Chain A
Amino acid sequence: MVLKIFFPQCCNRAESGLLVGRWISGHDSAVVLAVIHYPFIPAQVKQYIQQMQAQSRVDLTVLGSWSLPKDGQEGMESFLRDLSTIFPQERWLQIRRQFGKTGFSCEVLSRDQICGKNPGEKAEKKKKKSEEDGGDAEREDEEKVIFVHYEQRKVMLSQLHPVEAQESGNGSEPNSELRQVFGTVARSQPLFVLDRYDDGPLRSTHWQSEGREASIVVELLKRASVPLGLLLGRMLSVWTWICSARILSVFPLRFLFSKLSTCVQLSYRTERLQTLGAPQAAPQAAAHMDFMRKANVLVSVLLDVSLGVLLMSWLYRDQNIAMLASNMVPAADRVAQKLEELLQWLMGAPAGLKMNRALDQVLGRFFLYHIHLWISYIHLMAPFIQGILWYGGLSACLGLTFALSLLSDMVALFTFHIYCFYVYGARLYCLKIYGLSSLWRLFRGKKWNVLRQRVDSCSYDLDQLFIGTLLFTILLFLLPTTALYYLVFTLLRLVVVLFQGVLHLSVDFINSFPLFAMALRICRPYRLAEGVKFRVLCEEPGTALHLLMEINPLKCSSVVQTYRTPTYSCYPRDSWVALVKKLFIGELIYPWRHKTTKSD
């Protein structure tokens, strides 16, 4: 086994002293966390370590000694060796740095050696099983230690991914060595509080020993956020109380709410904000996920609202609303006119197709009448459109997503005639397809067995056969006409659905994109670690191998994957094949919820 010693870079130039750290259980490695300098009183050191142990719940120990000889500090060898008897350990590390050499040298003493050694004798470099002859064992000992240098601050702050779901405190330690190292460093934060300005009896070196940083702005913000959060929480609870009123859950209203994307967005936002106020989860990993989730929600809400306010400032400037409203009615008129032209074209001989004239005329007139109805409706609504837009624009102060959802709803309302055409066409087509498929079975003398879910042969009566064939012929010859109307209106419908889908997708993007995690990844890449990589620092023949541990930042795609806020579009959607199949048999398609076509 090779003994690995994780050594913080900040302690490279520390004065001589005691190494405080932890042996990693189950692995032959140790983490050095800090160096406590001379002079100290052993009892105080022991007390300090116990105190830290209680605070951080890491089983801290004195690992060994550290010596960086300075001028006039010669002959400390025997003193350092004696220390091992004061702090009795299984193994005692003795790390020494010498002038003119970059590498450290390390000796590992086991307990029996410590106890059995002769005080006056010159110290031998020995390890546990060093009873064999000297020369070989010595070289082996040198090779058996690897120093892994790590940057303490980054390791303390970083979170190793993938985050393990249930890591319950000290109860069950994670198996991976790296995970244990990271966890140990992260949990021993209390150890790093002691800095050079403290008046305590001990002096130590770690990443923060030069003094702690703090910002006045951050402190002020922390103070201010408490009453603000309380106020917002109260408002939120009032809002949820209104939402949960029984009158809103009556059938038609609930159905309507589930179909209007504004209401869906409202309920989603409420739910997200409620999670902000939820108590923090206890275990460390869960707490990290919880914190990230809340931060993501908060940042995306803030961004959303600021974008919404920008939109609002544009809308209410220079009579933009009036302009929009005055453009809307002519636009609807133009759409209706185009539709009428399309219907006229369909009622002739579209693209040279030969359709059944009588059915063609009937369908065409029916749809023309429908457009006429729709235009009258729009003109009836015309005076109110500006008001609707004005008040609708106010919703942008809740966020851009609300404005987009409202736009989507308005598009749905303004293209209601297209939807109606589509439904009529689809129903008619669906009826024909079903009729034809069952009559085709009759044509071949088969029938669908419902109980066994298969096609059986069947002997029909004469009259059944006769009427069935008659209907089959009629349906078959009328199918092209219906199919053409269905095709045209489905294409129109798909255009609308696609537009709505793009809106929904952007709303969804704003809702679910982990903005905070992404910013963290870009500005502080070490905070989200995926693993580590090692670089050889120095490899001198006489000393141990020195490696530098660098943190591999998490890939951007996995950041998004891990911290994505779940929304309603995360559910499995219909594949393209299923969509085409649905279109072929004339089933209705919808843009909302997790049904279809949001997968642009």
Chain B
Amino acid sequence: MGPDGAPSQSVPWRKVLWEWQPFPDNYVDQRFLEELRRNEGIRQYRYWAVVKEAGFVGQQLSCVAIFITLWLYMEQGLLAPETLFWTSLTCALLGYGLYQALTSQTESCSDHRTHLADSQSAALFLSFTFGFSPVLKTLTESVSTDTVYAMSALMLLAHLVSFPYAHPSPPGSLSLNAALFASVCLASRLPGALHTFAMLTCALLVFALWPCLLQRIRANAPGQFTGVCVGVCVGGVGGLGSQSLGGAVLLSLALVSVTLICPLLLVRLQRHKDNIHGPWDEAEIREDLSRFLH
């Protein structure tokens, strides 16, 4: 009932303002909220499904950690650039084979790139990186090391933030570019041109090609996806642990919070969700009050 009290008349109240009615302006009757609906189209999450999806975020975090570990090894001279290069190449070939194998199982060849185009791309990567590596080596010579580290950290963070976790197959421009920028910055700090070249190849592998493969695995072999994620996470923590224990602890804490605690919070907090829908336009308060002044 309206605050002003309704006159008991036989005329039914209508929810219109454009015609005169024998009711006060602020009068409403019981039918007013009939059409209110709550939480329309809500999806009920299940904890383990969410954890499985969050595994992708965790493994991306671990990938960054693995890359940093490799760079640390290179900088200290513990890892020869040739070794890294050949290992990366082998991994790339293996991964490519796996990728093809997973493709031939299910998909048709409608949007399929030819082997020739792939090898062209690979040749382009390799030649450009090799050609530019001396330039890249001297690029940040005069920039202070702190600046380079800060820039790399910022860029890697930007990579993680802007990574398209839902559809990573063509990697997002900003995330890939940020990661590549960071790796160029880091690689230019290494002692030799060949180091730079190997590091960049590795970066390409980790940041550009690995997400494509992982996405393919997630789509076509969901059973193995969890195992791969766990493997990468363990690899990342272990690798970082061999260089700095503190870093490993921090990483594992981050992984736990991202993959276990955050999904728990999501599922818990979902009970408090309260969205209302109805056949009305939401009131939109504009901050522009100047028109009331005159």
A residues at B contact (CB < 8 Å): 354-358, 442-445, 459-463, 465-470, 472-474, 477-478
Contact = CB atoms under 8 A, between A and B. Distances in A.
Given A357-B138, A357-B141, A477-B143, A466 B180 contact: yes
Contacts of A466: 125, 128, 176, 180, 204, 208
Most chain A beta-carbon contacts within 10 A, residue among B132, B138, B144, B180: B180
Contact of A444 (B132, B144, B173, B180): B173
Interface of B: 121, 124-125, 128-129, 132, 135-136, 138-144, 170-174, 176-177, 180-181, 184-185, 204, 208
Given A357-B142, A460-B173, A470 B180 contact: yes
B173 A465 contact: yes
Given A463-B121, A463-B124, 16 more contacts: A355-B142, A357-B142, A443-B177, A443-B181, A444-B173, A444-B177, A465-B171, A465-B176, A465-B208, A469-B177, A470-B129, A472-B177, A473-B180, A473-B184, A477-B139, A478-B139
A445 B173 contact: yes
Output the residue of A442, A445, A474, A477 with the most chain B CB within 10 A.
A477
Nearest to B173: A445
30 contacts: A354-B142, A354-B144, A356-B141, A357-B141, A357-B142, A443-B173, A443-B174, A443-B181, A444-B177, A445-B173, A462-B176, A462-B208, A465-B173, A465-B176, A465-B177, A466-B208, A467-B128, A469-B176, A469-B177, A469-B180, A469-B184, A470-B128, A470-B136, A470-B180, A472-B177, A473-B181, A473-B184, A474-B135, A477-B140, A478-B139
Contacts of B185: 473
Nearest to B143: A354
B201 to A, nearest CB: 11
Contacts of A462: 121, 170-171, 176, 208
A324 to B, nearest CB: 46
Contact of B139 (A463, A468, A469, A473): A473
Contacts of A442: 173, 177
B146 to A, nearest CB: 13
B142 A470 contact: no
A461 B176 CA distance: 11
B148 to A, nearest CB: 10
B140 A459 contact: no
A509 B54 CA distance: 76
Nearest to B124: A463
B124 A467 contact: yes
Nearest to A356: B142
Contacts of B136: 470, 473-474
Contacts of B181: 443, 469, 472-473
A459 B144 CA distance: 34
Contacts of A477: 139-140, 143
A127 B208 CA distance: 106
**Most chain A CB inside 10 Å of its own CB: which residue of B135, B177, B180:** B177
B125 A459 contact: no
Nearest to B121: A463
A470 B121 CA distance: 15
B177 A468 contact: yes
Contacts of A470: 128-129, 132, 136, 180, 184
